[in-house]
Amino acid sequence: MKSKKTSRLILSISIVGWFIIALFVFNIVSINAQDNAKTNVYKKIKLFNDVLFKLQENYVDDIDINKLIDSAIEGMLDETDPHTVYFTPDEFDRFSTNTKGEFGGLGISIDKKGDYITVVSPIEGTPAYRMGIQSGDKIVKVDGEDVVGISTDKVIKKMRGEKGTKVIIGILRPGVKDELEFEIIRDIIKIESIPYAFKLDNGVGYIRIRQFNQNTTKELREKLDELEEEGIRALLIDLRFNPGGLLKEAVDTVNEFIGKDKRVVFTKGRIPQANMEYKTRYNRMRSDYPVIVLINEASASAAEIFSGSLQDWDRGLVVGKTSFGKGSVQKLFPLSDGNGLKVTTAKYYINSGRCIHKDLNDKLLKGKKVSDEEKEEAEKNNHQEIYYTQNGRIVYGGGGINPDIEIDQTRLSRLGIELRRKNSFFNYSVDYMIGNEEQVILDFVADDNIVEDFLNTVKQDSIEFEQSEVDTLYSWIVHELTNNIVSRKFGIEEGYKIIIEEDTQLQEALALFDEYSTLDEMFDYAEQLQKSNLENEMAKEE
Question: Tell me: the pLDDT tens digits for 442-477?
Answer: 999 999 999 999 999 999 888 999 999 999 999 999
Instruction: Give the mean model confidence (pLDDT) for residues 382-394.
Output: 89
326, 358, 422, 497: which one is catalytic? 326
Residues 365, 368, 374: CA angle, nearest 5 degrees: 100
Find all residues with CB under 8 Å of 324, minimum gap 6, and list them: 297, 298, 299, 300, 301, 304, 358, 361, 400
Q: pLDDT, tens digit, for every residue of 495-521?
A: 899 999 999 999 999 999 999 999 999
pLDDT at site 63: 85
Q: Tell me the pLDDT tens digit for each residue of 284-295.
A: 999 889 999 999
Helix ranges (H only) for 294-358 are 302-312
The residue-averaged pLDDT of 220-237 equals: 97
In one-letter notation, the amino acid at residue 4 is K
Nearest CA among 248, 355, 250, 347 for reference residue 293: 250
- What is the predicted pLDDT for the residue at 97? 58
Nearest-10 Cα torsion for 329, 327, 195, 402: -170
HEC-encoded secondary structure of 410-458: CCCCHHHHHHHHCCHHHHHHHHHHHHHHHHCCCCCCCCHHHHHHHHHHH
Longest dimension (CA), the chain: 86
State residue 94's pLDDT score.
65
406 pLDDT band (50/70/90 cuts)? very high
pLDDT band per the 50, 70, 90 thresholds, residue 121: low
What's the chain's average pLDDT?
A: 86
Domains and CATH numbers, the chain: 2-79 (no CATH), 102-190 (2.30.42.10), 196-327+345-358+369-406 (3.90.226.10), 414-502 (no CATH)
Task: Give the pLDDT band (50/70/90) at residue 136.
Answer: confident
**Under 8 Å CB-to-CB from 464, ≥6 apart: which residues?**
none
Look at residue 1 in the predicted model and tell me its pLDDT: 47
Nearest Cα neighbor of 349 from 329, 363, 330, 331 is 329
- Per residue in 146-193, pLDDT (tens digit) is 999 988 888 988 898 888 999 999 999 877 888 999 999 999 877 778
Residue-wise pLDDT tens digits, 47-77: 888 988 898 889 888 888 888 888 888 888 8
Q: Assess whether 301 carries a catalytic annotation.
A: yes
Catalytic residue, chosen from 301, 307, 328, 352, is: 301
Task: Report pLDDT digits (tens) over 301-344.
Answer: 999 999 999 999 999 999 999 999 998 888 888 888 888 999 99
Q: Which of 414, 418, 444 is nearest to 429 (CA)?
A: 444
**Residue 5 binned pLDDT confidence (cut-offs 50, 70, 90):** very low
In the 8-state DSSP scheme, what is residue 77? H
Which of 240-244, 415-419, 521-525 has the highest mean predicted lDDT (pLDDT)? 521-525
d(CA 78, CA 81): 7
In 296-431, the DSSP E strands lie at 317-320, 328-334, 340-350, 386-388, 394-396, 405-406
Q: Name the pLDDT band for 4 (thresholds 50, 70, 90).
A: very low
Active-site annotation holds for 326: yes
Q: Out of 111, 153, 252, 312, which one is annotated catalytic? A: 312
Give the type of residue at 526. Answer: A
pLDDT at residue 96 in the model: 63
Question: Is the pLDDT reported for residue 29 higher than 60?
Answer: no
Q: Give the integer Cα–Cα distance in Å for 442 and 97.
A: 39
Q: How far, CA to CA in Å, does 539 sit from each of 379, 524, 526, 536? A: 18, 23, 20, 5
